[in-house]
Amino acid sequence: MATISHEASPSAPATRSRPERLVPELWTSLAIAVIWVTVLLDAIFGPDIVTRGVAGDSAVIPSAIVISFFAFLATWVVARHGFRGRDDR
């Protein structure tokens, strides 16, 4: 008796269901929201950066300006990492 061997049929690509795809995006969005809520709270309740010169002049800068620069950088990094496309091959 002869045996016949067939090639394995290609399996369908494993696709993640919609809720599984949204979970990483949800955490990424939540992280970005927390970053900017922190900037908002610092703008409302945070101290100012006060500098005094030798001649007696002074400058006052809200600390939220400095923090917002770093929040922008953090948002950029978190968004690139969290929203990047993934291959499920």
Taking only the tens place, the pLDDT of each residue in 1-41 is 666 666 666 655 556 566 666 788 899 999 999 999 999 99
Q: What is the pTM of this model?
A: 0.68
In this prediction, residue 2 carries a pLDDT of 65
Q: Which is higher by pLDDT, 21 or 88?
A: 21
The model's pLDDT over 38-67, given as tens digits with 9 standing for 90+, comes to: 999 999 999 999 999 999 999 999 999 999
Closest CA to 63 of 36, 42, 38: 42
What are the sequence ranges of the domains in the chain? 18-82
Joined together, the tokens standing for residue 9 give 């049929």
Residue 50 identity (one-letter amino acid): V
Distance of alpha carbon 9 from alpha carbon 52, whole angstroms: 76
User: How do 58-62 and 48-52 pair as beta strands?
Assistant: antiparallel
In this prediction, residue 89 carries a pLDDT of 39
